[in-house]
Amino acid sequence: SDAAGYLPFSRARVGLFFQEQPVLKNPFLEDALLRGYLKRHLPQESYSQAILSDLNTFGERVAKDIDTWGRECELNPPRLVHFDPWGQRVDHIVTSVAWKRLKDLSAQEGLVAIGYDKSFGEWRRVYQMSKLYIFSPSSGLYTCPLAMTDGAAKVIQSVGVSPPVEEAYRRLTSRQPERFWTSGQWMTERQGGSDVGSGTETVAVPQADGSYRLHGYKWFTSATDADMTLTLARVQDRSGSTTPGSRGLSLFYAEVSRFEDGRLRGIEVQRLKDKLGTRQMPTAELLLDGLPAYRLSEEGRGVASIANMLTITRIHNSVSAAAAMRRVLQLARDYATRRTAFGKLLKDHPLHMQTLARMEVETCAAFLLVMDVCRLLGREESGLASQLDLHLLRLLTPVVKLYTGKQAVAVVSEGLESFGGQGYIEDTGMPGILRDAQVLSIWEGTTNVLSLDVLRCVARSSGMVLHAYFAHVKSLLAGASGVSSLDPAVKAVGSALSELEQFVQIATSRSPSYLELAARDLGYSLARIYAGALLIDHACWKDASPNDTYAALRWCEQELCLVTSKQKRGCYDSSSASMDAALVYDNLIQ
Ligand code: UCC
Ligand code: FAD
């Protein structure tokens, strides 16, 4: 048995080597770009120091406690209890202790409230979203209800903070856990989540007191343990008829409440979805069976009225996308200091560093895109926005959402590989990051639908949003003139911008179907060029580091204006559409 003591492998021994796991450190302190961005942009006001100190303290909490709560939500996913032990229908969505804790924490930390706190001036959104950015990957997806809650508060603000939604607004923006409410966003029905105008069957039956009762079936409702919701329905006239299409939709506010016997008032939870990711959070199918509701929009103005919610939730989505990339990188670079292969640490393998550096550049670009939209939102809400800012905000919201949603999946997937086989192992927590990233390009508007939203806002503004875009990118580039180290990047963005301007001129003179086929590439081009300009602009800052310059140069080495080469190849011509279909269906159905 003495001899066995020296055997590394025997019945009770599984070897002597155990890999150290990657360590999550304070995500605020670990993020040079976030800190640099805030240092650069926050004004010399008394509140700036308070913001930095709060983010630092919160970052510490995220690493020490909150991350564990988020993990607990994954391990104890919600479940649906349809009946109580005596057969009474209760439709109770049972959530974990950690999920409830995250709700209280969200109120205390002001994760919605900060966005409505005027004392932070035009920087309220940058502050709020910076906090959500360091919270998101550890939040157990609590960022999802927070996004919808924020969106609902924004809608209420836009329709007027008065009864019946005055109290709801106070609760949505409260910092007191016992008062804090979350909101749902029930838009999607079986017939269509993108095309809600055709897909919405839910009807609103007027009541004598001016309220309504909703009857319908909502196919996807996330964070369904919410206290209230905003939803769409068609008002029935006296004969029971409704107006079809988008023009028949109105926006409604409804509280989720229970009768004294425990049954939900006007709602039956049919089932919880069995999802690829976002498992921490309930997503339910709901039968609305006489749900009491109040109309918030004019009749037929439902889509336009809920657009404010879409803007906010799409920005939250982009924040979560950038945050997922940042988190996987923080863990990957830590791991590279602990894992040895071929006789040296991973960090000493140039090819591994190149891989992480490519992810880093993507992440920097995503972060700057996201923060710029938050900056614009803060300016709009504090009444400081110029017309140019407003145009940029409208155009960039779908652009940033569609681009970062896709980038997140690519970067997180690459990130998993950087842990080798361990990246694929469920209880490292890594696979969950990839699963959760996959939803970011689906909900709140898919990539194509957002690309078409870009076309919509260009058309509705008679091209003004693009004029604003071109003018702003040029002004960012002008700020870099004379910085020789950035010359190649400035030239690359400048010529990509000219190509894009030429493309727009040609494309707008062609048929609408031409632009439709170009929409996705246009969205990507707008994102890549704008990100290039932001990276250059950041690298021009007096306290910028050589890394910032290097990131800008690297970013601008790629194809920035995707539409040019594809246009030359005729990819948007009408013949392409039929050839694409023939290729997909192998000429089987035409
Ligand atoms: O997925 C969901 C929740 C997931 C959980 C929350 C996660 C949050 C992030 C968390 C991170 C961890 S809720 C479901 C989301 N569903 C969507 O996003 C729907 C996607 N489909 C679209 O966006 C479509 O483009 C529609 C539904 C907007 C198309 O509707 P219409 O009616 O066909 O569109 P119209 O006719 O073009 O526009 C109607 C009006 C117009 O205003 P007016 O009449 O004044 O000209 C448009 O300008 O709505 C206006 N409008 C907008 N305004 C439409 N879209 C926008 C917009 N994006 N911004 C401003
Ligand atoms: P479809 O609209 O059928 O789209 C299918 C495909 O067709 C997509 O790839 C799309 O890009 C493409 N497509 C559609 N139209 C066009 C077009 N004109 N041109 C080119 N391509 C097009 N919804 C809510 O309302 N509330 C929620 O809380 C909610 N939570 C969700 C949670 C999860 C986990 C998921 C996965 C979804 C959730 N959704 C929610 C629904 C989500 O918003 C929709 O699934 C999404 O908007 C897409 O709608 P759809 O599923 O009907 O797809």
| 151 Cα: distance to centroid of ligand 2 (angstroms) | 18
Average pLDDT of the residues in 68-81:
97
Ligand nearest the Cα of residue 135 is 1
CA of 443 to the centre of ligand 2 (A): 6
Model pTM? Answer: 0.97
Nearest protein CA to atom 11 of ligand 1, as residue: 317
- How remote is the CA of residue 402 from the centroid of ligand 2, in Å? 13
Mean per-residue pLDDT, 450-470: 97
Out of 273, 302, 331, a domain closes at: 302
Inter-residue contact 405 to 460 (CB < 8 Å): no
Best residue among 143, 225, 230, 449 to mutate for probing ligand 2's pocket (most ligand atoms within 8 Å of CB) is 449
What is the predicted pLDDT for the residue at 4? 52
Please indicate, yes or no, if residue 451 is contained in any of the structural domains.
no
**CB burial of residue 348 (10 Å; 0-12, 13-18, 19+):** middle
- Minimum mean pLDDT range among 45-54, 60-69, 151-160: 45-54
Distance CA 128, CA 13 (A): 50
Peptide bond into 22 cis (omega under 30): no
**Å from CA of 304 to ligand 2 middle:** 18
The predicted-structure confidence for 264-282, as pLDDT tens digits, reads as follows 999 999 999 999 999 999 9
CA of 423 to the centre of ligand 2 (A): 29
Residues in Cβ contact with 34 at an 8 Å cutoff, skipping those fewer than 6 apart: 28, 130, 133, 134, 367
Q: Is residue 222 part of a domain?
A: yes
Nearest ligand (C-alpha, residue 148): 1
Measured distance CA(439)–CA(317) in Å, rounded = 10
Q: Which pLDDT band, with edges at 50, 70 and 90, does 550 fall under? A: very high
Average pLDDT over residues 343-370: 98
Distance CA 383, CA 118 (A): 11
pLDDT at 558: 96
**What's residue 8's pLDDT?**
77
Ligand 1 probe mutation, 187, 198, 303, 443, most atoms within 8 A of CB: 303
Directed axis angle between helix 387-417 and helix 464-478, to 10°?
70
Tokens found for residue 262: 């425990």
Nearest-atom number in ligand 1 for the CA of 144 is 10
484: containing domain: 461-574
* Nearest one of 397, 513, 559, 543 to 32, comparing CA atoms: 543
Q: Does 416 reside within a domain?
A: no
Residues 6+ away with beta carbon under 8 Å from 539: 480, 483, 486, 489, 548, 549, 551, 552
Output the pLDDT for position 434: 98
Inform me whether the pLDDT recorded for 417 exceeds 60: yes
Asked if the model's pLDDT at residue 536 lies above 60, the reply is yes
> In terms of Cα–Cα distance, which of 178, 180, 159, 177 is closest to 168?
180
Q: What is the dihedral of CA 539, 545, 549, 552, to 10 degrees?
A: -70
Tell which one of 310, 311, 438, 447 to mutate to probe ligand 1, the residue whose CB is within 8 A of the most ligand atoms: 310
The residues, ordered by sequence, that sit 6+ positions from 141 with a Cβ below 8 Å of its Cβ are: 70, 73, 278, 280, 281, 436
Mean pLDDT of 2-20: 75
Closest C-alpha to ligand 1, atom 37: 456
Tell me which of 256, 277, 302 is where a domain ends. 302
Rounded Cα–Cα distance for residues 156 and 312 (Å) = 13
* Ligand 1 centroid – CA 187 distance (Å): 10
Q: Name residues contacting ligand 1 (CB within 6 A).
A: 143-144, 147-148, 185, 187-188, 193-194, 196-197, 222, 246, 303-304, 307, 310-311, 313, 316-317, 320, 443-445, 449, 453, 456, 460
Q: Using 50, 70 and 90 to split pLDDT, how confident is the model at 3? A: low
**pLDDT tens by residue, 117-130:** 999 999 999 999 99
Q: How confident is the model at residue 589 (pLDDT cuts 50, 70, 90)?
A: low
Q: What is the CATH number of the domain that holds 298?
A: 2.40.110.20
Is residue 528 a part of any domain in this protein? Answer: yes
Distance spanning both ends of the chain, measured CA to CA: 76
Q: How far apart are CA 118 and CA 83, in angstroms?
A: 45
- Å from CA of 189 to ligand 2 middle: 10
Q: Best mutation site among 446, 455, 513, 522 for ligand 2, i.e. most ligand atoms within 8 A of its Cβ? A: 446
User: Which atom, in ligand 2's list, is nearest to the CA of 273?
Assistant: 34
DSSP-derived 3-state class of residue 399: helix
205 alpha carbon to ligand 2 midpoint, in Å?
27
Reduce the DSSP state of residue 424 to 3 states and report it. helix
From the CA of 558, how far away is ligand 2's center (Å)? 30
Q: So what's the pLDDT on residue 1?
A: 44
**pLDDT for 319:** 98
Average pLDDT, integer, range 511-537 = 97
Q: Is the pLDDT of residue 5 over 70?
A: no
Phi, psi of 253 (to 5 degrees): -110, 135
pLDDT tens across 207-243, in order?
A: 999 999 999 999 999 999 999 999 999 999 999 999 9
Task: Give the residue from 258, 275, 302 where a domain finishes.
Answer: 302
Pocket test for ligand 2, best of 220, 280, 451, 515 (most atoms within 8 A of CB): 220
Average pLDDT, the chain: 96
Look up residue 367 and give its two tokens: 């972060």
> Does residue 477 belong to any structural domain of this protein?
yes
Within a domain: 270: yes
Relative to the CA of 444, which ligand 2 atom is closest? Answer: 43
CA distance 280 to 289: 27
Torsion of the alpha carbons at 568, 572, 576 and 577, rounded to the nearest 10: 170
Domain count, the chain: 2
CA 178/CA 175 separation, integer angstroms = 9
DSSP notation for 539-567: HTSTT--HHHHHHHHHHTTS---HHHHHH
Residue closest via CA to ligand 2's atom 48 equals 193
Do residues 93 and 122 make contact, with C-beta atoms less than 8 angstroms apart?
no
Q: Whose C-alpha lies nearest to ligand 1, atom 7?
A: 144
Nearest protein CA to atom 2 of ligand 1, as residue: 444
Q: What is the pLDDT of residue 11?
A: 75
